[in-house]
Amino acid sequence: MADDLFEHPCLAAVYDALDGPDRSDLNVYAGIVTVLGAQRVLDVGCGTGTFVLMLSERGVDVVGLDPAGASLDAARGKPGAERVRWVHGDATALQGDLDGMVDLAVMTANVAQAIVDERDWARTLAVVRRCLRPGGHLVFETRRPERRGWEEWTREQSETVTEVPGHGSIRHWVQLTEVNLPLVRFEAVRVFGDQTLTSTSTLRFRGEDEIAASLAASGYEVREVREAPDRPGRELVFVAQRAEG
């Protein structure tokens, strides 16, 4: 089950306006697509489709996968959506027709942390590996647990009002509710006029070594661990490659 933040139709409809007006975080992924010359890209947890639509405009063959139907609906309503193959579900929803066909799989905007259950994480890595062609890559980011970014997830530090065409003025904030490492729980609150919608999310904070070990166990070699250029010190970007043999 996806969080309400992505699954509730009203919240999914304003996700881009509230959470993603600045998507410079995607530049690092776009750069990797170019450097690798990736022709077919699988976006695991594509949400409202910002990245796959950007790539499809450049002629890349893209598959966008997400368990949140309302986010996919928002994505399907955007210009160019007909060029994308959309898959509703987690990675296990992928049928065998993509096996060995994907040059690059990505998980942008901390999707890896939304995959909280360790068996789900291992299954996701396994299915993605199956989809990658020999030598194909998986690139994703995750917040560094040692940076304790959740300490800034308070109403005082995050409350903002955003004017969203068609929806009016929305007051919104996040509020940390529980830290029980490696799990961190928070609420995202959106006030639409007299209606308040609150979504609860849980994220898993995995350390660099833990992620490297899970990748090795699932048949990947870590090629590089980079800083996210727009969030130095806060996040790690893993560049992994399908291991052979």
Ligand X SMILES: C[S@@+](CC[C@H](N)C(=O)[O-])C[C@H]1O[C@@H](n2cnc3c(N)ncnc32)[C@H](O)[C@@H]1O
The footprint of ligand X (CB under 6 A) covers 2, 6, 20, 44-47, 50-51, 66-68, 71, 90-91, 108-111, 114-115, 120, 124
Structure tokens given for 34: 């170019």
3-state secondary structure of 116: coil
Structure tokens given for 42: 């699988």
Q: Count the alpha carbons within 13 Å of 99 in the hemisphere toward its beta carbon.
A: 6
Taking CB atoms, the residue at the shortest distance from ligand X is: 47
Q: Which is nearer to ligand X, 32 or 44 (CB)?
A: 44
Q: Which is nearer to ligand X, 120 or 187 (CB)?
A: 120
Any idea what DSSP says for residue 243?
P
Whether residue 73 contacts residue 106, with contact meaning beta carbons closer than 8 Å, is answered with no
Using CA atoms, how far apart are residues 230 and 209, in angstroms rounded to an integer? 23
Residue 193 Cβ vs ligand X, minimum distance, rounded to whole Å: 25
Q: Which is nearer to ligand X, 201 or 241 (CB)?
A: 201
Residue 46 Cβ vs ligand X, minimum distance, rounded to whole Å: 6
Q: Count the alpha carbons within 13 Å of 201 in the hemisphere toward its beta carbon.
A: 24
Closest alpha carbon to 122 in 222, 237, 214, 223:
214
Structure tokens given for 180: 């029980």
Residue 44 Cβ vs ligand X, minimum distance, rounded to whole Å: 5
- Sign of torsion over alpha carbons 42, 44, 48, 51: negative
Q: Which is nearer to ligand X, 115 or 125 (CB)?
A: 115
Q: Which is nearer to ligand X, 41 or 109 (CB)?
A: 109
Q: Which is nearer to ligand X, 25 or 103 (CB)?
A: 25
Closest alpha carbon to 46 in 13, 14, 69:
69
Residue 112 Cβ vs ligand X, minimum distance, rounded to whole Å: 9
Residue 113 Cβ vs ligand X, minimum distance, rounded to whole Å: 8
Q: Which is nearer to ligand X, 105 or 170 (CB)?
A: 105
Residue 227 Cβ vs ligand X, minimum distance, rounded to whole Å: 18
Residue 245 Cβ vs ligand X, minimum distance, rounded to whole Å: 28
Whether residue 43 contacts residue 63, with contact meaning beta carbons closer than 8 Å, is answered with yes
Any idea what DSSP says for residue 25?
G
